[in-house]
A and B are shown apart, each in its own frame.
Chain A
Amino acid sequence: QKEVEQDPGPLSVPEGAIVSLNCTYSNSAFQYFMWYRQYSRKGPELLMYTYSSGNKEDGRFTAQVDKSSKYISLFIRDSQPSDSATYLCATRGDTNAGKSTFGDGTTLTVKP
């Protein structure tokens, strides 16, 4: 079993929709939670970085972490065609020197 499991998608939504992307993880030592966005033939770029449980909002993006259920989510409000990309969740503990463990990614298409 992978340490981080991500809803595989692909996901296709109309412009303006609310998008929910989800991951689960198995290692209770994970403390840091990240979401990256990856466009085709580009490297992942950091979208959200959170520590422990709770919500973090940045513009149209909200990251949510529930450590009790080992569940992490990314919500995108008022989705735009430019949001079309692959979204990767990632987690990391305090003791493994920064090594991050990634999900396999969810590919999102936002149709105009």
Chain B
Amino acid sequence: GAGVSQSPSNKVTEKGKDVELRCDPISGHTALYWYRQSLGQGLEFLIYFQGNSAPDKSGLPSDRFSAERTGGSVSTLTIQRTQQEDSAVYLCASSSRSASPLHFGNGTRLTVT
């Protein structure tokens, strides 16, 4: 079946603008995760959803970052008033339950100019 789908694949925005990143998880996967990967770096955890609830938001770097998940499926990560340090690849992953390994999308490459 289809894997995790993320859109857009690339996004260039001006400093100060808001952006929305979308994630479509694998059908039936109840757990959904957002990670951020800066150039040459590992994956930085942002937020975890179980169903539509977010029991762990500990990785969101500031209140400019928010995320929601609706219908236990699609998730949107929103970054308000973008800054140059927000430039990174934003990766979404899903798993069939929280104890299972993660399946990643190909990410959204965000560039803030």
> Which positions in A face B, CB cutoff 8 Å?
4, 6, 32, 34, 36, 41-46, 49, 88, 90, 96-105
Q: Are B42 and A99 in contact (CB under 8 A)?
A: no
Question: Which of the four size classes fits the interface of chain B?
Answer: 20 to 34
Docked pose: A96 CA to B102 CA in angstroms: 14
> Which positions in B face A, CB cutoff 8 Å?
4, 31, 33, 35, 40-43, 45, 48, 50, 55-56, 91, 93, 95, 97-107, 109
Q: Are B33 and A99 in contact (CB under 8 A)?
A: yes
Contacts known (A97-B50, A97-B98); A45 close to B45, Cβ less than 8 A: no
Provide 26 A-B residue pairs closer than 8 Å at the C-beta atoms, listed in order of the A residue.
A34-B101, A36-B104, A41-B109, A43-B91, A43-B104, A43-B107, A44-B43, A44-B104, A46-B101, A46-B103, A88-B42, A97-B48, A97-B50, A97-B98, A98-B33, A98-B97, A98-B100, A99-B33, A99-B45, A99-B48, A99-B56, A100-B102, A101-B45, A102-B35, A102-B43, A104-B42
